[in-house]
Amino acid sequence: SRSINLAVIPGDGIGQEVVAQGLKILSAVLPQDVKLETKEYDFGARRYHATGETLTDADLEQLKQHDAILLGAIGDPSVPSGVLERGFLLKLRFAFDHHVNLRPSKLLPGVGTPLAGQPEIDFVVVREGTEGPYTGNGGTIRGGTPHAVATEVSLNTAFGIERVVRDAYARAQARPRKKLALVHKNNVLVHAGHLWTDIFNKVGEEFPEVTTEYMHVDAATIYLVTQPERFDVIVTDNLFGDIITDLAAAISGGIGVAASGNINPSGRFPSMFEPVHGSAPDIAGQGKADPSATVLSVALLLRHLGYETEAARIEEAVSADLAERVGAPARTTDEIGDALAVRVAG
Amino acid sequence: SRSINLAVIPGDGIGQEVVAQGLKILSAVLPQDVKLETKEYDFGARRYHATGETLTDADLEQLKQHDAILLGAIGDPSVPSGVLERGFLLKLRFAFDHHVNLRPSKLLPGVGTPLAGQPEIDFVVVREGTEGPYTGNGGTIRGGTPHAVATEVSLNTAFGIERVVRDAYARAQARPRKKLALVHKNNVLVHAGHLWTDIFNKVGEEFPEVTTEYMHVDAATIYLVTQPERFDVIVTDNLFGDIITDLAAAISGGIGVAASGNINPSGRFPSMFEPVHGSAPDIAGQGKADPSATVLSVALLLRHLGYETEAARIEEAVSADLAERVGAPARTTDEIGDALAVRVAG
Ligand SMILES: CC(C)[C@H](C(=O)O)[C@@H](O)C(=O)O
Ligand SMILES: CC(C)[C@H](C(=O)O)[C@@H](O)C(=O)O
């Protein structure tokens, strides 16, 4: 008999509320014979204030036992910028080698976009998750003086680039349009850029059916707002991926519906799924948060674990629910969750 | 009697065509008593192919004699990516210490935008121009092997940050709304980010009338498409500035109207003014290029040299010309230039 042993990290702000809905939908969609076990972990600002800890070795040992991780949001204004981001979110991505950071963007029918003319948007960004300027490899000398110098080092390896580029080609190959764009800035960041470009071209030889293009990151932001329909799969570096996926979320319904997966395709460590939005402390506890991004992250989680039918069912439910919202009165977080649970169960 | 001794670099692709219009408008707008001297320099792909040179010490010595530089565009597919960008464009910005990279974004009446609802857009990005990941401080080991590692180092100094931050505050102070946003990624790039943030806050004490906010670069891309009217002045790092100013151009009329100045406020070296668009080799020589971005760059040049009235006259002419285009038949580069020349002279 099948089973899912899930680690649940509600986290800060609206994390609690949206994760509750994600779990509701997960229970509702799973077939009877699948045994769902969940264990909740209290990470985030509360724990940091109480103990000074963000994520210990013992925590990682425990999390490692799970099949996957569902995360709400981590971050609170009471904690200095960078502490939880680097001490928890990035630490987890690096510890579990989440090198494929998957961020789909699809403008669903009836969903608002700041762009004129409701363009067709349906692409996925494969963001590298363990290298680039995210490795914490920087420093400061003479801080606090007029002679201060601060550095940030972007680290890029053939090993790290090749595995994520290959993953992106495989995803492009599996999609109807079979298009892959590499986004970088190889005219300025020539060392990292040429390594990415060379590997991108070389791996491409294994995927003759995939049509490729190269685009500078600055140009990519232009095309994302003027011709978003041109994109199918994008592969890019950690920092460029961070930037363009927020823009991608903004044009395809907002961060209220943007899901993401921090994936270790080897399965050696559990993958983590989380909405792209943050903890939104300003609306926490008021039932105003849209749980759709978390619910769509649950769909990515299920697909990763091999439950394709259930993943698709969730995506259809969210799509139908969003379409029904147009002109309807606003509902609470819980009401949206209930409506989605009914849909996926039906 | 007054005079302007201008270096003119038409460059590659459409550079030639658009610079011709820029000079036409410059001659037309200047008062009789101002003596305009121009000297043309043949930099770019042609020179590179003929001599292997991009920008020599002797070139820099010559350019240094001028009051300002007007550049069309540099770049051609026949030259490997990075060669002209780093060997010419960036070399010049660094050699002449162009630390204030000024990029205004204003959505003029009647001008197209990919955003719905024609929002009010009127802000200026002050992009740092001589530091960050643009210093060419990177390297590769074991290139071409599966063990290759490439680095890119972002260099940030208190000296470099403070001068551009102070310039941005002064610009914000001089504008009606007096708002300044710092855009960075201080939750991940903590060393560079905290240096920027600390200096931003400290210099802010000298400008009590300026309202400030901090925004992560990923969030900034969201706000640029959902609430562009919220921005007045933005100050940011070299790379983030590169990325968000292309997005800013896209939402405020496209790169056909985006002007920029690479400014050395001390006047120790000549400042350089250029359209944000590149050389667009696909439409070069066909009279299809829109010279507006170059003409608006001439306005920035004149303002920098103290010709505020003439700068404003050019901006009004471009604005009126763009408004008249709606629904009218397309005109050639030359026709647009002629129409603008008539307007600024009148
Ligand atoms: C919170 C932050 C560390 C994170 C990132 O920069 O990756 C976030 O912006 C994201 O995109 O998941
Ligand atoms: C061509 C390139 C070097 C340049 C940059 O990255 O600064 C360009 O994109 C720009 O914005 O002026």
Q: Would you say A154 and A133 are in contact if contact means Cβ atoms under 8 Å apart?
A: yes
- CATH number at B343 reads 3.40.718.10
Q: Is B193 near chain A, with CB under 8 Å?
A: yes
- The pLDDT of residue B322 is 94
Is B250's CB within 8 Å of A225's CB? yes
Nearest chain A CA: its distance from B225 CA (Å): 6
Residue at a domain's end among B252, B282, B308: B252
Residues B120, B245 share a domain = yes
Tokens of A56: 């210990």
Closest CA to A189 of B205, B243, B302, B303: B243
Residues A147, A53 share a domain = no
A162 lines ligand 1 (CB under 6 A): no
Which residue's C-alpha comes closest to atom 8 of ligand 1? A242
Residues B309, B223 share a domain = no
Closest CA to A192 of A150, A249, A149, A135: A135
Residues A235, A136 share a domain = yes
- The pLDDT of residue A327 is 87
Active site residue A246: yes
pLDDT tens digits, one per residue of A122-146: 999 999 999 999 999 999 999 999 9
Residues B276, B245 share a domain = no
Residues B17, B57 share a domain = yes
pLDDT tens digits, one per residue of A8-57: 999 999 999 999 999 999 999 999 999 999 999 999 999 999 999 999 99
Residue to mutate, A84, A242, A247, ligand 1, most ligand atoms under 8 Å from C-beta: A242
Average pLDDT, chain B: 97
Q: Would you say A177 and A232 are in contact if contact means Cβ atoms under 8 Å apart?
A: yes
Residue at a domain's end among B252, B269, B302: B252
Domain count, chain B: 2
Give the domain range for residue B178. 113-252
Which residue in chain A is spatially nearest to B195 when comparing CA positions?
A150
Contacts of B140 in chain A (CB under 8 A): 191, 194-195
Residues A27, A72 share a domain = yes
CA atoms within 13 A on the CB side of B222: 18
Structural domain contains residue A105: no
Angstrom distance (rounded) from CA A286 to CA A265: 37
Structural domain contains residue A107: no
Structural domain contains residue B274: yes
> Quick one: pLDDT band at residue B329, thresholds 50, 70, 90?
very high
Structural domain contains residue B41: yes
Q: Would you say B128 and B237 are in contact if contact means Cβ atoms under 8 Å apart?
A: yes
Angstrom distance (rounded) from CA B344 to CA B25: 7
**pTM over cut 0.85:** yes
Is B243's CB within 8 Å of A243's CB? yes
Q: Could you tell me the end-to-end alpha-carbon distance of chain A, in angstroms, rounded to an integer?
A: 23
pLDDT tens digits, one per residue of A250-290: 999 998 899 999 999 999 999 999 999 999 999 999 999 99
Tokens of B175: 């504008």
A332 CA to centre of own chain:
24
Contacts of B194 in chain A (CB under 8 A): 82, 140, 150
Cβ atoms within 10 Å of A78's Cβ, excluding its own: 11
B286 is in an annotated binding site: yes
Residues A248, A121 share a domain = yes
| Residue spans of beta strands (DSSP E) within A31-190 | 35-40, 68-73, 100-106, 122-128, 138-141, 149-157, 179-184
> Quick one: pLDDT band at residue B326, thresholds 50, 70, 90?
confident
pLDDT tens digits, one per residue of A75-109: 999 999 889 999 999 999 999 999 999 999 999 98
Query: Between chain A and chain B, how many beta carbons pairs sit less than 8 Å apart?
Result: 215
Angstrom distance (rounded) from CA A27 to CA A31: 9
Residues A62, A131 share a domain = no
Cβ atoms within 10 Å of B179's Cβ, excluding its own: 17
The pLDDT > 90 percentage for chain A reads 97
Q: Is the pLDDT of residue B1 over 90?
A: no
| Residue spans of beta strands (DSSP E) within B158-245 | 179-184, 211-216, 233-236
Q: Would you say A179 and A231 are in contact if contact means Cβ atoms under 8 Å apart?
A: yes
Nearest CB to A226: which of B114, B154, B156?
B114
Which residue's C-alpha comes closest to atom 3 of ligand 2? B85
Residue with tokens 């300027």: A133
Structural domain contains residue A106: no
Structural domain contains residue B307: yes
Q: To 10 degrees, the CA torsion angle through A274, B189, B172, B252?
A: -50
Active site residue A122: no
Tell me the ligand closest to B186's alpha carbon. Answer: 1
Active site residue A202: no
Closest CA to B18 of B295, B241, B253: B295
Structural domain contains residue A179: yes
Residue at a domain's end among B252, B270, B287: B252
Residues B82, B121 share a domain = no
A94 lines ligand 1 (CB under 6 A): no
Tokens of B52: 């292997």
Closest CA to A111 of A247, A292, A253, A225: A253
Residue with tokens 């629904």: B327
Query: With a CB-CB cutoff of 8 Å, which residues 64-123 of chain B face chain A?
Result: 81-82, 85-86, 90, 113-117
pLDDT tens digits, one per residue of B107-142: 998 899 999 999 999 999 999 999 999 999 999 999
Structural domain contains residue A217: yes
